Chains A and B, each alone.
Chain A
Amino acid sequence: MTTSRWLAASVLTASGLVAASASAEDLTLCWAAWDPANALVELSKDFEAQSGHTMNFEFVPWPNFADRMLNELNSGGKLCDLLIGDSQWIGGGAENGHYLKLNDFFAAEGISMDDFAPATVYAYSTWPKGEPNYYALPAMGDANGWFYRKDWFEDPAIQAAYKEATGMDLGVPETQEQLMQIAQFFQGREIDGQTRYGASIFTERGSEGITMGATGALYTWGFKYENAPGSYDMEGAVNSADAVEALEFYKELYQTATPPGYTDSYMEQSLDAFKSGQVAMAMNWFAFFPGLYADPNVGGDKIGFFVNPPQKVAASTLGGQGISVVAYSDKQDAALEYIKWFAQPDVQQKWWDLGGYSCHLDVLNAPGFKESAPFAPDFLQAMDAVQDFWQEPAYAELLLAMQKRLHDYIVADQGTAQEALDKLIEDWTEVFEDEGKI
């Protein structure tokens, strides 16, 4: 090789290296600090290896997650390139220009929303609801479910005591009322020399806890936010007789079947109550179920799972999130690259294997999916009947109003269920009037 050729080759190699280093970005993905986030860190190592980009993570504990991230978005912050934001943020994310609209990108890259479970696309990706305007890729399917002490439920002595007390066989509750009956049976009962309690439920005041818990009952009684979707006509829907009954039910469950002191309890407290052996049953998000099943003390054979029991209809409170590209990011191309990689079926399968909840139909419809985890069938069942809170841009105001009204009635024991729901309509009406929607 002549000197000039060596020189040309060297220049080409050097320029190639420069190009490679220029395209390698430091991406930051923001999410809540919880079990699935650890799985995502593990999963993302494959992306780093394939793309050359470096992934950084900003995980915020759930009680501060909304505050922290919404402040970040509202201030046009560049901390996050990718955000796995809560489903209720989609309206604000879209209307306030925080999230990049992904339709053109999906079309260019051949990513079809038909490949994802319809309920998750509707809840996590679209704004206005149900319209084909996509601001996120469904990332983490989730719903509020239940788990119980299978070893206690299968204990012959406890089964006999339950039969004697209620005349029924002890088993997984099939209705909300059965759930209450079982919880009340366990309340204050001595098992293995310790006092146990019925159920740990969500009662948290500060962020979203009590709303997420109580809507689990409300939805199964047929609760609706509006008489007709998009009408903002709430009178008779939000405060219907069924809604009042459901709210009274949740209050009775709280008062008669939960451990003392659980007046401000959410995900963490629910897990603590169960793991410490205080309660026979607990509600929480499916996201925690892999970790619970693996728990050396209460997992394995000792734990069972069930979907939120129906009352008048089958329904579960929706959790979960979509992954969005933050509009203020300077690294949008690399962030979109991550989404393209994440949408691949084999990556989605690995996501499920690691403990994340994939929304991809190739994963959910795979022949072995239902057998892949003890809670997998319940997850599918729950996702078939999920309902979500308002996803309006003013969702925070709507949510805080509901938090206040529910906590005042359920935990602080002030007023009646009817009054709580009537006041809630007043609060929400004021918000929608301010928004110019009614």
Chain B
Amino acid sequence: MTDSPMTRAARATPPRVARRIRGLSDRAIAWIFVAPTIFLLLAVNIFPLIWTIRLSFTNFKANRNRPIEWIGTRNYERILTDSDIWLTMQATAHFLFWTIFFQVLIGFTLAWLINRKFRGNDLWTTIIVLPMMLSPAVVGNFWTFLYQPQIGLFNYVVSFFTGADPSSFQMIGDVNLAPWAIVIVDTWMWTPFVMLICLAGLRSIPDYIYEAAEIDRASNWRQFWTITIPMVLPFLMLAILFRGIENFKMFDLVVQLTGGGPGSVTELTSINLKREAFEKWRTGYASAYAIILFVTVFGLASIYVKALNKVKER
């Protein structure tokens, strides 16, 4: 009879080490294995978080050689009463809401269509997921060309359908259109991601449920609302959570596309925060700003995850 790998490992362990390990409890051994991870987590995540909280109560500037002053909650008061910050919050909320709305709507529709068996199904799936494989910086850059009023393809397509002069409107230069310009690009890029998650949800529904519904003479519409939607809902909610978190911290794509302009109408909170932290070097102020955003995202995500769990339990 051959030895098992564990027996071989035990036999290969030097007697001194083996004696020492034999003296340890299972819990202690577990701690030995987990400790490096916990240490890394503390060093990389928890310590910077605590340090950021500390800095948020000071006037620290990372580019200046001057003593740090404790200024209490002044940074928080400034941020929460600054109308410009609230405008960036509004811009972020607009971006967040509409990108998620369109991505869920189009993503689910595409998944539903792809889920129906037809010729070239796999090819279409591959084509549809291509945008999300590109770098956001590249996407942002080439959409600036597509949106260019004089030579941009987007303006010519709109012109073809509406008859408007292509150079009569500026998608990224107009205050009213620019917020929609970034929504369109993000939707174009990330709808495939939502589609893939929805597709996984649709394919997880057993066929026998639909067969039973057909036996009960349920219409397609009723099957859709009473079987498809409820069973895909946890997947949809997961997709919304992922996209919500991602788009709350959206930076690269929008910076490449509009740079936050025109004016500040597409200056999302992450762009604004980066300017405060690494261009103006208001480190203390930016720390308070980051903590406010962290608490907001963490709070919203916690509520959302609880709702998601409830849906899953049903």
Contacts and interface: CB of A to CB of B under 8 A. Distances in A.
A400 B260 CA distance: 13
- Chain A CB within 10 Å, residue with most, of B59, B167, B262, B275: B262
Given A96-B65, A407-B264, 15 more contacts: A74-B281, A96-B64, A205-B262, A205-B263, A206-B255, A261-B150, A393-B64, A397-B282, A404-B84, A404-B263, A408-B264, A411-B173, A411-B261, A411-B263, A412-B175
A412 B263 contact: yes
B148 A261 contact: yes
Nearest to B63: A74
Contacts of B96: none
A400 B168 CA distance: 30
Interface string A392-433: 010011001000100111011110000000000000000000
A263 interface: yes
Interface of B: 59, 62-65, 84, 148-150, 152, 167-168, 170, 172-173, 175, 255, 258-265, 275, 278-282
Contacts of B149: 260-261
Interface in A84-99: 92, 96-97
A407 B59 contact: no
A397 B63 contact: no
Nearest to B275: A400
A263 B150 contact: no
Nearest to B144: A264
Nearest to B265: A412
Given A205-B260, A205-B261, A407-B262, A400 B280 contact: yes
A95 to B, nearest CB: 8
A414 B263 contact: yes
B259 A259 contact: no
Interface in A295-333: none
A408 B263 contact: yes
A71 interface: yes
Interface string A258-275: 011111100000000000
A434 interface: yes
Nearest to B173: A263
Contacts of A261: 148-150, 152, 167, 170, 173
- B175, B260, B261 pick with most chain A CB within 10 angstroms: B261
Interface residues of A, number: 29
10 contacts: A74-B62, A96-B63, A260-B168, A261-B149, A263-B261, A396-B281, A404-B264, A408-B264, A411-B263, A413-B263
A434 B71 CA distance: 11
B170 to A, nearest CB: 6
B156 to A, nearest CB: 13
A67 interface: yes
A421 to B, nearest CB: 15
Contacts of A408: 263-264
B102 to A, nearest CB: 24
B63 A92 contact: yes
A202 to B, nearest CB: 13
Contact of A260 (B59, B150, B175, B259): B150
A70 interface: yes
Contacts of B65: 96-97
Contacts of B148: 261
A260 B261 contact: no
Nearest to B271: A206
Interface of A: 67, 70-71, 74, 92, 96-97, 204-206, 259-264, 393, 396-397, 400, 404, 407-409, 411-414, 434
Nearest to A412: B263
Contacts of A70: 63
Nearest to B66: A436
Given A260-B170, A261-B150, A412 B262 contact: yes
Given A206-B259, A412-B264, A264 B173 contact: yes
B104 to A, nearest CB: 30
B261 A412 contact: yes
A414 B168 CA distance: 20
From A70, A204, A397, name the one whose CB has the most chain B CB atoms within 10 angstroms. A397
Contacts of B262: 205, 263-264, 407, 411-412
A139 B152 CA distance: 41
Nearest to B267: A404
Nearest to A431: B280
Contact of A397 (B150, B259, B280): B280
Nearest to B84: A404
A329 to B, nearest CB: 18
Contacts of B265: 412
Contact of B167 (A96, A260, A396, A397): A260
Nearest to A434: B59
A263 B172 contact: yes
A264 to B, nearest CB: 6
Contacts of A404: 84, 263-264
Contacts of B172: 263-264
Given A263-B170, A408-B264, A412-B175, A396 B259 contact: no
Contacts of A67: 278-279
B277 to A, nearest CB: 12
A397 B61 CA distance: 12
A407 B281 contact: no
A343 B257 CA distance: 43
Contacts of B62: 74
A261 B59 CA distance: 40
B10 to A, nearest CB: 50
A356 to B, nearest CB: 29
Contacts of A205: 259-263
B261 A407 contact: yes
Contacts of B168: 260
Contacts of B59: 434
Nearest to A261: B149
A261 B282 CA distance: 33
A40 B150 CA distance: 37
Contact of B278 (A71, A260, A407): A71
A301 to B, nearest CB: 27
A205 B265 CA distance: 12
B94 to A, nearest CB: 15
Given A74-B281, A413-B175, A414-B175, A407 B263 contact: yes
Nearest 7 pairs of A and B residues by beta carbon? A412-B263, A263-B173, A408-B263, A261-B149, A260-B149, A74-B63, A205-B261
A96 B63 CA distance: 8
